[in-house]
Amino acid sequence: MRVLVTGGSGFLGLELCRRLAGRGDIAVSLHRRWSPELERLGVRQHLGDIADPRTVRRALAGCEAVIHNAALAGVRGPERPYRTVNVDGTRHVLTTCRALGIRQLVYTSTASVAFTPEGGVTGADESRPGPRRHSAAYPRTKAQAEAAVLAANGPDLATTALRPHLIWGPGDPHFLPALLRATQGGRLLMPGRGTNLVDTCPLATAAHAHLLALDRLRPGHPAAGRAYFIAQGEPRPLREVVTGLLAAAGRRASWHPVPYPVALAAAVLADATTTVLRRHTDHGLSRFLLHQLTRPHWFDLTAARRDLGFEPPTTFDQAMAELTRHHRTTGG
């Protein structure tokens, strides 16, 4: 099958292309900058902006399915850049799929679309409504894009949305690097004590779920028109997750709690500064990140198991051991 992966040069996108090529499918990628990793895999690369309808049409021509993985991620920043990529880009993909007769679309959403700052998420399933107001442009625009994807499902185009949560693993350009930046002199300053339970998603688990959805999705299938939480199914205290990731990278750090009022004041100031400067950032403190760091967030995976046949292909401890071996072998 010829499959377009939008954002194929990114963290999850590259793994998806690697797996598609490895099992004999023809992987095509749409992304911004040339990727030597994709070239080695023999993946055809279309360079351009997903916000450009003509670029999207060129990339999708001749494809039978699409994994729409491209997105602008970040913890704070003005609305417009997020909307252009996450909402407008998704609409261009949907419109082009209909025009070209493409019948399958798997969308990479995020569990953050259902996260509520007030109490977090504890064992909720997909019937849980999202918050009345998201605390950042990223989850807000991803929720809007997910809604558009699910509304587009029909007899001619089957769509589904996967909501992976906190993807990490070898090559992670976001989560672990942010923790390493926050660790200074063996001290990790973090809001709260890290006792809140969180579930995460190793890279292998996220990629596995996407290919399961791709292989099963057809018009009329139970997954068509539905969203699914994807995670490891092993909630751990945040402190354990964070210190484990740092240890895998060879960094030892002691957790130093920052009082919540102090962290909140700093987050409000950071959000205000970013708004004034109209600057997007994918790291640093924000109210969105503060809520994620101090609230529980773990999910009921029953629907994904039932409709997609989903089971994590690895355990949390096995994935952490793989990450440790990767850092020891490559130096990160």
Catalytic positions: 138
Residue 114's closest CA among 105, 106, 122? 122
Question: DSSP assignment of 2-64, as one string?
Answer: EEEEETTTSHHHHHHHHHHHHTT-EEEEEESS--HHHHHHT-EEEES-TT-HHHHHHHHTT-S
| Number of residues written out for the chain | 332
Q: Nearest-5° angle of CA 168, CA 172, CA 175?
A: 65
Phi and psi (nearest 5°) for 283?
-150, 175
Q: How many other CB atoms sit within 10 Å of the CB of residue 240?
A: 14
In angstroms, the Cα distances linking 122 to 59, 111, 165, 226 are 40, 12, 14, 20
Cα 195 to Cα 248, 257, 259, distances in angstroms: 20, 11, 14
Q: How far apart are CA 19 and CA 15, in angstroms?
A: 6
The pair phi, psi for residue 205, each rounded to 5°, is: -70, -45
